[in-house]
Amino acid sequence: MSEERLRRVRDRVRPFPDFPEPGVLFRDISPLLKDPVAFRTLIDLLEDHLRASFPKIDFIAGLDSRGFLIGPPLAQRLGIGFVPVRKKGKLPGPTESISYSLEYGKAELEIQSDAVEPGQKVVVVDDLLATGGTMSAACELLRRLKAEILECLVVIELKALKGSEKLGSIPFYSLLQYD
């Protein structure tokens, strides 16, 4: 991975101090999404990583909502399908659902019961890993469907929050890391 390409992506992540509350430094990917060259570079880097790491992937599973921004173009590049993991109540038909704890309360995620077949190989994608609650819950949903989770993949990892520890033995990759 070239440092120049990585810097092009990193330079488009904007820090917002004291959001959503005092003392938090929010990492905003909006400038990255607005810059077509930087966004294409992001997808290039993620595609290069996945092609080098896995000979066969069946689906990208993207987490509501920013995983929906990264997952579909990445899936298109790889010539595979995209599966949404949504907030509760947003998907039609039979679903699997899970409740999980957040720093500030509880949340629920769902996936359609027929989203993947047993044994299909899935990479789970989101923009950011903080405490790991949402990513861990999504992995549990995919396990219930008997998918083989190859990796959890994010653009940004907030290392100090140790979210990757919640993923246990599931391989994890982050393009950018911040303390």
Q: Which CATH number covers residue 45?
A: 3.40.50.2020
Global pTM value: 0.96
| pLDDT given at position 20 | 85
Q: How many residues does the chain have?
A: 179
Cβ distance 134 to 100 under 8 Å?
yes
In total, how many domains does the chain have? Answer: 1
The residues pairing with 123 across neighbouring beta strands, listed in sequence order, are 60, 151
Cα separation values, 35 from 12, 27, 32, 101, Å: 8, 16, 5, 34
Q: Which entry of 3, 4, 21, 103 is annotated as an active-site residue?
A: 103
What is the rounded distance in angstroms from the CA atom of residue 81 to the CA atom of residue 46?
16
Its sign, for the CA torsion 69, 153, 177, 51, is: negative
Known active-site residue 27: no
- Of 146, 141, 145, 157, nearest to 109 (Cα)? 141
Using alpha carbons only, what angle is made at residue 134 by residues 132 and 140, rounded to the nearest 5 degrees?
A: 100
Q: Which entry of 5, 10, 27, 66 is annotated as an active-site residue?
A: 66
Which residue range(s) make up the domain with 57?
1-177
Known active-site residue 165: no
| pLDDT given at position 7 | 97
| pLDDT given at position 101 | 86
| pLDDT given at position 24 | 86
pLDDT of the chain along its 179 residues, tens only? 689 999 999 999 999 999 988 988 999 999 999 999 999 999 999 999 999 999 999 999 999 999 999 999 999 999 999 999 999 999 999 999 999 987 777 999 999 999 999 999 999 999 999 999 999 999 999 999 999 999 999 999 999 999 999 999 999 999 999 98
